[in-house]
Structure 1
Amino acid sequence: MFPSLQDEAYLCTAVRLNDSVEEWVVRFDPLASANRAHHMLLFGCSDVLQQNLEGKFWDCGHHGVCQNSRIMYAWAKNAPTTSLPEGVGFRIGGQTGIHFLTLQIHYAKALPEGVKDHSGLQMELTTQKQKYKAGIYLLAAGNTIIPPNTPKTHADMNCLLADSGEPRDITLFAYRVHAHVLGTVITGYLFDTTKNEYIEIAKGNPHWPQAFYPMNKTHLAKTSDILHARCTWNSTGRSRHTMIGSTAADEMCNLYLMYYTDPRLGSEFSACGMETYPMITKNLPPDSDVPLPPNPLLEEHAKGKNLHKEQAFEYSISKDEPIKVEKKGHTHQYLQDNRYQAKPGGYEYEDATNYPQPQQVLQRWKTPADTPRPALMENSRKAKQLKILAFKTASDWGQEEVQYGQVVAVALDSAGDVVVFHRGERSWDGSTFKGNILRDTSKPIKSPTLLHLRKDTGHIIDKWGENFFFVPHGLTLDKNNNIWVTDVGMHQVFKFPAGYGNGQPLLSLGTRFEPGDDDTHFCKPTGVAVMTNGEFFVSDGYCNARVIKYSANGKILHQFGKQTKYNFFGELIFSVSCTFNIDLPMFQ
């Protein structure tokens, strides 16, 4: 039961999951009405701050939602129940790394004095392992400015699936759009880089119930494909500029794609928040910003009290049969076929002469980091391909009998010989940490984690580091061959002498197994860079997102950087200087 004390309030509540039992969510039943709650988001979290668990709810607009979160479900405007396809579920609890479910509710308007709200979410769970695991792919705009009195303003996002965190192909089966009062239509496309064609996968009116609507059929998105979203706003009658933000006075641009994927190797959440390929945007189908026909029934249903909680969307994973839709007043005949039919041979691009292979397509449409955008429109410019043949694998290098764990870093000593840092028998996965704290601090890695190899043969010269490290990460050798390493489980940085000496570090920084952000603590430090005068930098790291400069003897000289900010919906807020997402190891 939530009391809403002021306008634009964000309140959260969390439930702890059973770490010994893996469960699968197969159905979401929203228990809310649009006349009370503006929207709800469900997050799967690795941890929730203890201070937030002490009460029944907390202000997550100012104190954050949870740690290592991913969106699992979203609701707004009296959307109906979502039942996942047979054999598909969201994995939670057990060893999945999801130890809490956190429900966030946004109240755009304060409730009348004395009125309590009982908005919530009911879910159907099963312990039966599902054939596929479900996931959410979010395309969201974070830095668009909508000018006043403008009939059409666009925000476009597109990303290569593989570049946005998806290690495996995914099968899309449902979508949800979200914008505020100026939004007129949100459209999604799958661009097949092998066929050079657009497939419309989503088109929604953000003023209708914001459900996960079934697609007209399932769509296989390959890691070589590009996903694109376009949001269109109409600011006619508004005399001010409108920013992207979390309040009702701001705007938003979200396209949620629900999918299923490989239960073992697939990802469960990915996001795209930028326009990576401007030429994909330039050649969008002409009806990409054309609103859907008016539907007074849906527009009326999106307001006021929710009277249709018992009716649900149901999905099928069959690619050959139409999705079964059971929803009174929601026939959606416009979804029965694609709004845009690809032309024979693919879409006819302005600058196309013939159809290149996928990698050429990506090189041609991706904005080079050092090239002004207008140059992309010049037909005379050609992308340069990396000469792969300049690199060859030395098939006779190394020793087959050597067993490597997760290899995390490689460095060269002054003679050109190779040092490899690996995790031996240990793996870093969702069960390794609880929040930022290592779960098992009693068992260091037994095998040598540092291997010194001959540059000509790859044969082992020496082995170091047994029974010392817990979760190895960064490795650097300085001009004197001193060995600098980081351990994200221990939250420490170490300097060992050349050849590892007697196994005792010359310098240790950080507090063993204790994450933190002060002068004596790191939080999963990722790497070290050493200057010729002995001064060095530490990238810290997965939690703190800062870089610290030290004197040669380990005294702090300077530090800079702070965490990249995300809004309440998990979207990146682009822009301020000296912010980092994750500080990865630095190069010298």
Structure 2
Amino acid sequence: MALFRGLLAFGIFLSLGFAIASADKDVLKRFPLLMPNVVPKRDDTYFCTPIRIDPTMDYYITGFQPNTTSALAHHMLVVGCTAPGLDEALWNCGGMAMSNAGFRTAPTCAEGTQIIYAWAMDAPALLLPEGVAFRVGRSSDIKYLVLQVHYASMEPFTDGATDDSGVFVYYKEKPQPRSAGVLLLGTGGRILPQSVEYMETACTIEEDKVIHPFAFRTHTHSLGRVVSGYKVTRRGQEDEWTLLGKKDPQLPQMFYPIATNTTLTRGDRVAARCTMVSDRDTVTLIGATGKDEMCNFYLLYHTEGETLQQKNCFSLGPPFYSWGGGDLRDIPDGDASSLPQGETAHEMGVQVHQM
């Protein structure tokens, strides 16, 4: 299994793409977190590969550079774990239905799951703001980084080609003043045939912290048309909805900046909706394959000290949960399911891939 080995052993230091050599702990460096030349043997393969972080040091991750294309990988996650799903170089991590002969099946993490980066649809690199970083290593719960890659199709590998999709992780050794965190909002549920379905979730911030959202990312499969996320604040008998971000998920699924300068504190709620449009003759379920769907809104934030213990905000989705059924008021139905003219994938000439 690949190790950080203190990271310095690799001697790779990059600043804005140019290699330099320095012992300065404030220098930006990078580490390759890549698949070990894998060959998916079936469609909808999920492979995971880990790296163990040097337990004697803290590291501060400040950016991610993808090393793949949508022709190879459907999506990728970098997940921080207290313990990985397996102590092996490679395993199946998409469930038994997507298993590949010769590899054991296990979850991404056995303990302490924290998503810290997600990529899909040829999204570009992500660099965090100055002074903001994910802390990993000695004094963090993140002792391993696990790369998960979803291969929707095995077709690119039928000629024997291997794959090293993954990311280059940028980091510093110097402590950074602000801690980065990700809050993932998502749903379960189903989408009826020939229908428009709202898949919704909402949660209350219970911790006594001030967090500063600064970027968001949306993720669905092919039925998603709009994914939106909000801060919801109760004002007497009314709810005030502040848009955190919305996007057509058929566009590159990168982290986009949050335009509104706002904070989330104890008692505020976060809410997300995926507007799904199905022309299928069968019910579509939330699931891992390309024929299933997903409804995810990633909220990237920074804060002082430790990040939120709450990492996820999930609902059962339709028909079991909706915003109205969850006691939210003054719901902005039109705004949550529409985009300004010119901001849809269709208007931008992006081909929506139908599974």
2:261 is matched with which residue?
218
User: Is contact 2:193-2:283 (8 Å) kept?
Assistant: yes
Give the structure, 1 or 2, with the largest relative contact order (CA under 8 Å, sep 6 or more).
2
Q: Aligned to 1:200, which of 243, 252, 271?
A: 243
Q: Of 270, 278, 287, which residue of structure 1 is paired with 2:335? A: 287
Query: Could you report, residue by residue, the CA deviation over 1:362-410 in whole angstroms, capped at 9, with x for unpaired residues?
Result: xxxxxxxxxxxxxxxxxxxxxxxxxxxxxxxxxxxxxxxxxxxxxxxxx
Q: 1:159 offset after TM fit, Å?
A: 1.0
Name the SS for the 2:328 alignment partner. Answer: helix
Q: Do residues 59 (structure 1) and 92 (structure 2) align?
A: yes
Structure 2 distance, partners of 1:212, 1:137, is 13
Instruction: Give 2:220's match in structure 1, choosing from 156, 179, 192.
Output: 179
SS in 2 for 1:63: coil
> Which residue, out of 177, 180, 190, partners 1:145?
190
Q: How far is 1:300 from its partner?
A: 3.6
Gaps of 5+ in 2: 1-36, 95-104, 316-320
The residue correspondences of 1:149-160 to structure 2 (distance < 5 A) are 149-150=194-195, 152-160=196-204
Q: Aligned partners of 2:84 and 2:349: how far apart in 1?
A: 37
Q: Contact (CA 8 Å) 1:78, 1:302: kept in 2 or not?
A: no
The percentage of aligned residue pairs carrying the same residue is: 33
Q: What's the CA shift for 1:186? A: 0.6
Q: Give the structure with higher Rg (CA).
A: 1
Equivalent of residue 36 in structure 1, options 62, 65, 72: 72
Take 1:117 and 1:268, find their aligned partners in 2: how far apart are those partners?
Answer: 35
Question: 2:296 maps to which residue?
Answer: 254
**Deviation of the 1:155 alpha carbon:** 1.1
Q: Secondary structure of the residue that 2:83 maps to in structure 1? A: coil
Q: Give yes or no for contact 2:243–2:260 (8 Å, CA) kept in 1.
A: no
Structure 1 unaligned segments of length 5 or more: list them: 304-588
Greater strand percent: which structure?
A: 2
2:282 to 212, 235, 240: 240
Aligned residue for 2:108, secondary structure, equals coil
The ranges of structure 1 where at least 4 consecutive aligned residues each deviate by more than 6 angstroms after the TM superposition are none
Match of 2:15 in 1: none
Distance 1:211 1:269 in 2: 22
1:6 aligns with 2:42: yes
Contact 2:208 2:265 in 1 (8 A): no
Cross-structure match for 1:23: 59
Give the C-alpha shift of residue 118 in structure 1: 1.8
Equivalent positions of 1:432-443 (< 5 A) are none
For the structure 1 residues 34 and 299, does the alpha-carbon distance in structure 2 shift closer, same or farther, using more than 3 Å as the test? farther
Q: Deviations along 1:348-372, whole A, 9 cap, x unmatched?
A: xxxxxxxxxxxxxxxxxxxxxxxxx
CA contact (8 A) 2:79 2:116 kept: yes
Distance 1:278 1:29, change over 3 A: same
Aligned length: 293
CA distance in 2, matches of 1:134, 1:247: 30
Displacement after TM superposition at 1:145 (Å): 1.4
- In the superposition, the TM-score normalised over structure 2's length comes to 0.78
Structure 2 CA distance, aligned partners of 1:161 and 1:11? 33
Q: CA RMSD, aligned part only? A: 2.1
In the superposition, the TM-score normalised over structure 1's length comes to: 0.48
Q: Deviations over 1:397-449 (max 9, x none)?
A: xxxxxxxxxxxxxxxxxxxxxxxxxxxxxxxxxxxxxxxxxxxxxxxxxxxxx
Secondary structure at the aligned position of 2:327 is classed as: helix
For the structure 1 residues 218 and 298, does the alpha-carbon distance in structure 2 shift closer, same or farther, using more than 3 Å as the test? farther
Question: Which amino acid counterpart does residue 257 of structure 2 have in structure 1?
Answer: P
Q: Which residue of 2 aligns with 1:47?
A: 83
Alignment partner of 2:200: what SS? strand
Which residue of 135, 143, 167 maps to 1:121? 167
Shift of 1:281: 6.1
Q: Separation in 2 of the partners of 1:32 and 1:154?
A: 32
Q: Does the CA contact (< 8 Å) of 1:145 and 1:244 recur in 2?
A: yes
